[in-house]
Amino acid sequence: MASSVRYEVDDAIATITLDRPGALNALTVPMKDELLAAFRAVARDRAVRAVVLTGAGRAFCAGQDLRERLEPGAAPLAVELRERYNPIVAAMRALDQPIVGAINGVAAGAGASLAFACDIRLAAEGASFVLAFGRIGLVPDSGATWFLPRLVGPAKAAELALLGGSLSAAEAERFGLVAGVSNGDALAADARALAGRLAGLAPRALALTKRALQRSWSVDLDEALEDEALRQGIAGATADHAEGLAAFLEKRPPRFSGE
Interacting residue ranges for ligand LHQ, rule: CB under 6 A: 23-24, 26, 62-67, 69, 77, 80-81, 85, 106, 108-110, 130, 132-133, 136, 138, 141
CB of 255 to ligand LHQ, least distance (A): 43
Q: Which one, 55 or 98, has the nearer CB to ligand LHQ? A: 55
CB of 72 to ligand LHQ, least distance (A): 15
* Distance between CA atoms of residues 20 and 221, nearest Å: 44
Kind of pairing between the strands at 128-130 and 99-103: unpaired
Q: Which one, 166 or 216, has the nearer CB to ligand LHQ? A: 166
CB of 137 to ligand LHQ, least distance (A): 10
HSE at residue 125, side-chain half, CA atoms within 13 A, is 5
Q: Which one, 8 or 83, has the nearer CB to ligand LHQ? A: 83
CB of 42 to ligand LHQ, least distance (A): 23
Q: Which one, 62 or 187, has the nearer CB to ligand LHQ? A: 62
CB of 12 to ligand LHQ, least distance (A): 32
CB of 160 to ligand LHQ, least distance (A): 14
CB of 142 to ligand LHQ, least distance (A): 6
Q: Which one, 103 or 110, has the nearer CB to ligand LHQ? A: 110
Q: Which one, 81 or 205, has the nearer CB to ligand LHQ? A: 81
Q: Which one, 87 or 254, has the nearer CB to ligand LHQ? A: 87
DSSP letters for the chain: ---SEEEEEETTEEEEEE--GGGTTPBPHHHHHHHHHHHHHHHH-TT--EEEEEESTTEEE-SB-HHHHTSTTPPPHHHHIIIIIHHHHHHHHH-SS-EEEEE-SEEETHHHHHHHHSSEEEEETT-EEE-GGGGGT----TTHHHHHHHHH-HHHHHHHHHHT-EEEHHHHHHTTSSSEEE-TT-HHHHHHHHHHHHHTS-HHHHHHHHHHHHHHTTS-HHHHHHHHHHHHHHHHTSHHHHHHHHHHHTTS-------
The answer to whether the beta carbons of residues 240 and 222 sit under 8 Å apart is no
